[in-house]
Amino acid sequence: MNLIPARIRASPALVRAFPFALFIALTALQPYAGETGLYWIYLVKTILVGAILWKSRSLIPEMRWKLSWEGLVVGVAVFVLWIKLGDAVHAAGLGSFGEWHISGKPWNPAAHYGASPPIATLFLAVRVIGSVLLVPPMEEVFYRSFVYRYIKSPNFESVPLGQFFWTPFVLTSVLFGFEHREWLAGILSGFAYQGLVCWKKRLGDAITAHAVTNGLLAFWVIARHQWQFW
């Protein structure tokens, strides 16, 4: 089955935006699916968007993981920033500044499926896999490869991947931050990931950094029961 329509395959812009747009659209459905449905939608979108990214790998040559010490350091630093920034903001007397106020229960399959541990474990595993293996390449391709360069020029493929431009640097990071509940941490993380792309002149280090951040955050959430970060 061809998961990517021919029109999207033929467009460098659409092939980079389509997985992200689909992921966001399915995410937007989760609040309307009930407490049980949101977990199943996450499972569906992880499998579906993961398959699309896999099918797209030959169409997006920059979507290549690169293990480097720079990526590891940035990933760890962003993780620390993510879990500590809220405390610093509160200590400064700014309340919940830097976070969107979102109603609803946090993602916690261990509590929701307490009577059925295997199902809870399944959804925890799916969330970790989605966070570590799916979200980093999907978001880095969309924001750092497509949006950053498109802001500079609609003919975005003519813009070198690692070239620094102030306006795209700031706008892309702000858009990236606003996608997350912890939007201030998200903006600063966007600066870090985009800076890594500009430094290394490739996307793979930022994909690795993003995966390290999300992996450490997943461990933190599960081990410390800090479900608010999910």
Q: What is the pLDDT of residues 137-151, one digit of tens each?
A: 999 999 999 999 999
Under the banding of pLDDT at 50, 70 and 90, the label for residue 3 is confident
Q: What is the count of structural domains for the chain?
A: 1
Identify the DSSP state of 111: H
Distance of alpha carbon 47 from alpha carbon 42, whole angstroms: 9
Flag whether 26 is in a domain: no
Flag whether 4 is in a domain: no
Domain that holds residue 140: 63-229
> Nearest-CA neighbor of 143 among 213, 98, 101, 196?
196
Flag whether 159 is in a domain: yes
How much is the pLDDT for 1? 60
Flag whether 196 is in a domain: yes
Helix and strand totals (H; E) in the chain: 11, 0
Directed axis angle between helix 34-56 and helix 117-129, to 10°?
40
State yes or no: pLDDT of 61 exceeds 80.
Answer: yes
Q: Are 120 and 203 in contact (CB under 8 A)?
A: no
How much is the pLDDT for 226? 93
How much is the pLDDT for 230? 86
Q: What is the mean pLDDT of residues 48-63?
A: 96
Under the banding of pLDDT at 50, 70 and 90, the label for residue 210 is very high
Residue 98 Rama label (left phi>0; alpha psi -120 to 50; beta): left
Kindly report the average pLDDT of the chain as a whole number: 94
Distance of alpha carbon 95 from alpha carbon 192, whole angstroms: 25
Under the banding of pLDDT at 50, 70 and 90, the label for residue 183 is very high
Is residue 192 within a helix (H) or strand (E), and if so which, with residue range?
A: helix 183-200
Q: CA–CA distance from 33 to each of 5, 11, 25, 36 (Å)?
A: 27, 32, 13, 7
Q: Are 189 and 81 in contact (CB under 8 A)?
A: yes
Under the banding of pLDDT at 50, 70 and 90, the label for residue 123 is very high
Flag whether 48 is in a domain: no
State yes or no: pLDDT of 194 exceeds 80.
Answer: yes
Question: How many other CB atoms are found less than 10 A from the CB of residue 55?
Answer: 16
Q: What is the mean pLDDT of residues 162-182?
A: 96
How much is the pLDDT for 84? 95
Q: What is the mean pLDDT of residues 48-67?
A: 96
Flag whether 155 is in a domain: yes
35 contact partners, CB below 8 Å, separation of at least 6: 105, 112
Identify the DSSP state of 92: T
31 contact partners, CB below 8 Å, separation of at least 6: 38, 104
How much is the pLDDT for 127? 96
Directed axis angle between helix 183-200 and helix 166-178, to 10°?
140
Query: Half-sphere exposure of residue 78, counting CA atoms within 13 Å on the CB side?
Result: 33
How much is the pLDDT for 110? 85
Which range, of 61-65, 111-115, 195-199, averages the lowest pLDDT? 111-115
